[in-house]
Amino acid sequence: KKIPVIAYDRLPLNTDAVSYYATFDNEGIGTAMAQYVIEKYNLKKGTGPYNVEFFQGSDDDNNAHLIDKGMLNELKPYIDRGQLVVASGQKDFQQTTVKGWEPKNAAERTKKLLTQYYSGRQLDIAMCASDSIAEGVVDGLTSAGYSGTWPFITGQDATQKNLALVQQGKQGTTLLKS
C-alpha cells in the first residue's frame, strides 16, 4: 500500500521495505570505545602487550557489525604490532558475536575463553559492544572465580545496572546515547 516505513536504531536486514532509517553512529560507538582504550593504555606511546578479547553484538543485528568495524579499525594496528594480544585468536566478527546480545551467552563465552586461553594469563581488556554483554562478561568472570587483576570492560547504553558496575569498578566505561 506504499506506506512509508521508518526504522529507528535497528535496520531490518534482507528487506527493501524500509523507506527511512534513523540511528546513532554505530561505527562511531565502536571507534569511541577503542579510542578510550588507546588513551587509557597509552598505546600510541608503544606500551603493552595487553591481552584483549572482543565480545560483539548479535550477528543478526546490523548495528553489531558497525560497532565491530569501528573497534577494529582503531585497534587493528596495535594488534598487528603486538601491543594488544588476542590470546584466543578470535578477532573476526563471527568468532566474537554474542547471540541476542544476551548476558548469559556472554558469560558462557567468557568462561570458555578463561578455561581455554587464560590459565595463568591475565585478561586486561574486554571490548564489549553493549552493557548487556559487559554484564555477562562480569558474570562469567565472577562465576569462573577469576582471580587476576580485574580487566577493563567497555559497554554502551548506560543502564542503571551497568552504571552500578562502573561505580563498583567491575566495568570500566559505558556510553550513553541520548
Give tens-digit pLDDT for 135-163.
Answer: 999 999 999 999 889 999 999 999 999 99
Give tens-digit pLDDT for 79-127.
Answer: 999 999 999 999 999 999 999 999 999 999 999 999 999 998 999 999 9
How is 87-155 classified by DSSP, letter by letter?
A: TT---SHHHHB-GGG-HHHHHHHHHHHHHHH-TT----EEEESSHHHHHHHHHHHHHTT--SSPPEE--
The predicted structure's pLDDT at residue 148? 81
Contacts of residue 68, Cβ cutoff 8 Å, sequence gap at least 6: 30, 54, 56, 57, 93, 96, 129
pLDDT confidence bin for 13, thresholds 50/70/90? confident
Output the nine-digit C-alpha cell for 112. 570458555
Dihedral (CA of 169, 170, 173, 174) sign: negative
Measured CA distances, 119 to 83, 103, 148 (Å): 20, 23, 10
Gap between the Cα atoms of 86 and 52, Å rounded: 5
Considering the chain, what is the average pLDDT of its residues?
96
Does residue 10 surpass a pLDDT of 90?
no
Gap between the Cα atoms of 73 and 149, Å rounded: 27
Strand duo 152-153 + 84-85: pairing = unpaired
